[in-house]
Homo-oligomer: A and B are copies of this chain.
Amino acid sequence: STDSERLWQSLMELAKLGATPKGGVNRQALTDLDRQARDLFIAWCRAEGCSIRVDSIGNIFARRMGATPSTPVVMTGSHLDTQPTGGKYDGCYGVMAGLEVIRTLNQHDIQTQSAVEVVAWTNEEGCRFPPCMMGSGVFTGQLSEHEMLHQTDAEGISVSSALDAIGYRGSDELERNNIKAYFECHIEQGPILEDQATTIGVVVGALGQKWFDLTLTGRESHAGPTPMALRKDAMLGAAEVTQAINAIALRYQPHGRGTVGAMQLHPGSRNVIPGEVKMTIDLRHFDADILARMSSELRQAIEDSSQRHGLTAELTPAADFAPEHFADSCVNAVRASAEHLGISHLDIVSGAGHDAIFMGRIAPAGMIFVPCENGISHNESENATAEDLHAGCNVLLYSILEQAGL
């Protein structure tokens, strides 16, 4: 069994770097605070005898040698960067759980066949430098290294110069073709485990995502003298499309999701009929065909609404991720480990994007979810219990052992 206290202490130590008054963490990617977290992580790994490599996008790989050097590596990890108003667990838990597994293996002198490698991916959050999951995206060849190095933050600083500034632009060449399994522990970031009073989510895959930007254009006019019949009110279209998105998602349960998270009305004055509304749309589903159907239903709803209200519509894709079905080998390892340890578990689909999803494109991958309070993350009030974090770490240990071999 892993050491609950040691895991907790490491998480709390890490959370000091960028700690906010409200109990959260602000440690955005490639800032000096991120450097401090990376330095600390490397120091802890070196203390466990791990060899450290850093690749060109700043991903850190800490390897504990296996008995048979030629055997494919078993990897685990997550990310050390946070949202501006982030919490202590999102990302850090996955990295610290990996470190705790290595500490446990060392403590009990356990020799595995495969090497075990803990990775801290660069810039998973994407809040300073879009897009999210940048490090794992580059590592797995899903994102272009060249393009990613040239991405800039709001102040015009590039990823490339930010990596240089904190001394984390590495030059180690990593093998991508010799990976036995990748596991990632993560807080659920949703309410399902808590709702079902279950400790472990055996993540079988992740929802595909289609993001869009929609602009509806009507006619700006005075709210008083313009009769209802002579209006082209863009907000009425936006309201209908918002409800249509909800209806579409509800039609494809349990995996359908549809969200309007941001909306701007122009001119945005209380006695002017909005002549233009810009809104974001986030559709998700576990089945690629259904996700495609959801987006064509969205297009139809936009067309109908536009026609009804005399509007023109412009729909632009903003992101497109295929659903991910994790490899049976990894999913079964996680489920069997929870079973073996007598920890309550249920199969779950990740609603959010994670580094494990990119890893799943090039290797068998799996994830272990633990509950977070009220399903809240990306928030300073993000919370999880030491018991649940420990349970997830134990499931990780057994999953890694099963794959790495003794």
Which residues on A are within 8 Å of B, measured CB to CB?
Answer: 188-192, 195, 207, 209, 211, 219-230, 233, 235-236, 238-240, 242-243, 246, 249-250, 253-254, 256-263, 265, 268-274, 280, 282, 284, 318, 350-353, 374-379
Contact = CB atoms under 8 A, between A and B. Distances in A.
A228 B209 contact: no
B222 A261 contact: no
Given A222-B189, A225-B190, A246-B228, A262 B270 contact: yes
A229 B191 CA distance: 10
Given A207-B224, A230-B375, A268 B259 contact: no
A259 B253 CA distance: 34
Contacts of A256: 228
28 contacts: A189-B222, A190-B230, A191-B225, A221-B375, A222-B351, A223-B257, A223-B282, A224-B257, A224-B282, A224-B350, A226-B257, A227-B351, A228-B256, A228-B257, A233-B259, A235-B263, A239-B239, A239-B240, A243-B243, A259-B272, A261-B271, A261-B272, A261-B273, A263-B265, A263-B268, A270-B280, A270-B282, A271-B352
Nearest to A260: B235
A282 B228 CA distance: 13
Contacts of A238: 239, 242
A230 B195 contact: yes
A46 to B, nearest CB: 35
Contacts of A262: 265, 268-270
Most buried by B among A189, A223, A268, A282: A223
Given A191-B230, A192-B225, A224-B284, 17 more contacts: A189-B225, A191-B227, A222-B377, A222-B378, A223-B259, A225-B350, A227-B351, A228-B253, A228-B256, A229-B253, A233-B246, A235-B263, A238-B242, A240-B243, A261-B271, A262-B269, A262-B270
A221 B194 CA distance: 14
B226 A375 contact: yes
Given A263-B265, A270-B318, A271-B261, A375 B242 contact: no
A242 B250 contact: no
Contacts of A257: 223-224, 226-228
Nearest to A349: B225
A249 B236 CA distance: 13
A261 B223 contact: yes
A205 to B, nearest CB: 13
A190 B239 contact: no
Contacts of A209: 224
Contact of A375 (B190, B225, B259): B225
Contacts of A258: 228
A236 B229 CA distance: 25
A226 B374 CA distance: 10
A185 to B, nearest CB: 15
